């Protein structure tokens, strides 16, 4: 059992992470994933470039106005800006919580090879201790659920839910707020209705396992997908449809004790991710804060503007801060498309 003073402390941090007007920057791409982004701008995947890219993002002036926390990768949380200030201190000085991705990526599920499970439970408590000593306040673990002909299997859903729950409990014991991320992938030709059906099974299984494990719901943040159609479905769904369907699901399955849910962007464009979040919050207030924890939808324009060149840092930071501000407005339903041009 976690003691009450620990839960109170975790709850305080979780509430600040999802506070109205702020969201989380996912900058925790593994070395392989950031390499794919760099390829698009013709930049070699070297440590100096990865450092420079993250420094550009984290030192954006006024980042703390819109961003409550940044999720980093193991390499990143150990890096510093060129003036020698550690990235952890750069973020703390800006009023932003440093966070850390602690899963070790996905692998084929041995009992169902076309589905994935997430690696990283082995040795987790020791790694969490080290991250706490480096200054992390929260962690992230991502599980992915695949929709295809006979997928997902119930067994895969339950295994991922169990692993997420075990991770979450270890985090709370270590004094870190767990971001619990079950992502139903947008890949494939499935409809929004199918996404809704699968997302419901995933969240029901997750909250069951969290309860069984003794995780304090008030000391965690959920990070799941919106209810949305598959990328290859051709189904036309409006932000309104996505908002209504997502909220209908959340009202059914999310416990009121949960401080908040921070959406992933999952392959939505920058504008779609903002519009959808805005529609969701226009229908509020909700029992939980509903905010963003975007990777691609906060970084796509910024990396294009940056191109790996120091003379482009200011333009790249403006592009990043613009998206952060638009999403910040969307957390209270106050975003309007004309603001994109101002």
Rule CB under 6 A: which residues touch ligand 13P?
A: 26, 142, 181, 264-266, 293-297
Taking the CB of residue 8, how many other CB atoms lie within 10 A of it? Answer: 12
CB of 297 to ligand 13P, least distance (A): 5
Nearer to ligand 13P, 163 or 287 (CB): 163
Tell me the sheet residues that pair with 143: 182
Where in the chain does DSSP place strands (E)? 23-26, 67-72, 97-101, 106-109, 112-118, 138-145, 177-184, 221-222, 260-263, 289-294
194 is catalytic: no
**Is the alpha carbon torsion for 174, 89, 44, 38 positive or negative?**
positive
3-state secondary structure of 310: helix
223 is catalytic: yes
Give residue number: closest CB to ligand 13P. 295
CB of 192 to ligand 13P, least distance (A): 18
3-state secondary structure of 321: helix
Structure token pair of residue 317: 């930071």
Nearer to ligand 13P, 6 or 322 (CB): 322
Q: How far apart are CA 337 and CA 284, in angstroms?
A: 19
Q: How far apart are CA 56 and CA 44, in angstroms?
A: 17
Which DSSP symbol is given to 64? Answer: G
Residues 329/294, Cβ–Cβ less than 8 Å: no
> Between the CA atoms of 84, 63, 305 and 54, what dihedral angle is there, to the nearest 10 degrees?
40
CB of 295 to ligand 13P, least distance (A): 3
Residue tagged active-site, from 181, 209, 270, 279 = 181
Nearer to ligand 13P, 93 or 269 (CB): 269
Q: How far apart are CA 204 and CA 91, in angstroms?
A: 35
* Nearest Cα to Cα of residue 7 among 157, 211, 217: 217
Nearer to ligand 13P, 105 or 214 (CB): 105
Q: How far apart are CA 95 and CA 52, in angstroms?
A: 21
Nearer to ligand 13P, 69 or 266 (CB): 266
Tell me the sheet residues that pair with 139: 100, 178
Q: How far apart are CA 274 and CA 66, in angstroms?
A: 13
The backbone torsions φ and ψ at residue 63, rounded to the nearest 5 degrees and listed phi first, read: -55, -35
Nearer to ligand 13P, 102 or 111 (CB): 102
Structure token pair of residue 183: 């992502």
CB of 296 to ligand 13P, least distance (A): 3
Nearer to ligand 13P, 141 or 250 (CB): 141
Q: Which residues are catalytic?
A: 181, 223
């Amino acid at each position: 059992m976690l003691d009450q003073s620990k839960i109170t402390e975790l709850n305080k941090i979780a509430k600040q992470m999802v506070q109205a007007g702020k969201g989380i920057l996912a900058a925790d791409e593994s070395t392989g994933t950031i390499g794919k982004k760099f390829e698009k701008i013709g930049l070699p995947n070297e440590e100096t470039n990865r450092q420079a890219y993250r420094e550009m993002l984290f030192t954006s002036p006024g980042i703390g106005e819109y961003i409550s926390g940044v999720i980093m990768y193991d390499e990143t949380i150990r890096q510093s800006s060129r003036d020698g200030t550690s990235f952890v201190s750069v973020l703390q000085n800006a009023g932003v919580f440093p966070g850390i991705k602690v899963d070790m990526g996905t692998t084929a599920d041995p009992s169902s090879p076309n589905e994935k499970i997430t690696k990283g439970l082995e040795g987790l408590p020791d790694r969490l201790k080290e991250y706490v000593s480096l200054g992390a306040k929260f962690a992230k673990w991502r599980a992915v659920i695949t929709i295809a002909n006979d997928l997902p299997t119930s067994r895969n859903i339950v295994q991922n839910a169990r692993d997420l729950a075990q991770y979450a409990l270890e985090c709370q014991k270590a004094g870190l707020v767990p971001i619990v991320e079950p992502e139903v992938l947008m890949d494939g030709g499935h409809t929004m209705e199918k996404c809704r059906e699968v997302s419901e099974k995933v969240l029901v299984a997750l909250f069951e396992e969290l309860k069984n494990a003794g995780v304090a719901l008030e000391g965690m943040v959920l990070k799941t997908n919106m209810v949305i159609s598959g990328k290859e479905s051709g189904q036309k769904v409006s932000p309104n449809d996505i908002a209504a369907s997502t909220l209908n699901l959340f009202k059914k399955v999310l416990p009121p004790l949960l401080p908040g849910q921070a959406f992933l962007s999952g392959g939505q464009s920058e504008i779609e991710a903002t519009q959808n979040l805005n529609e969701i919050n226009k229908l509020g207030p909700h029992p939980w804060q509903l905010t963003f924890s975007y990777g691609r939808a906060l970084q796509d324009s910024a990396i294009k503007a940056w191109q790996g060149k120091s003379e482009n840092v200011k333009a790249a930071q403006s592009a990043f801060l613009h998206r952060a501000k638009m999403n910040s407005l969307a957390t209270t339903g106050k975003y309007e498309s004309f603001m994109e041009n101002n």
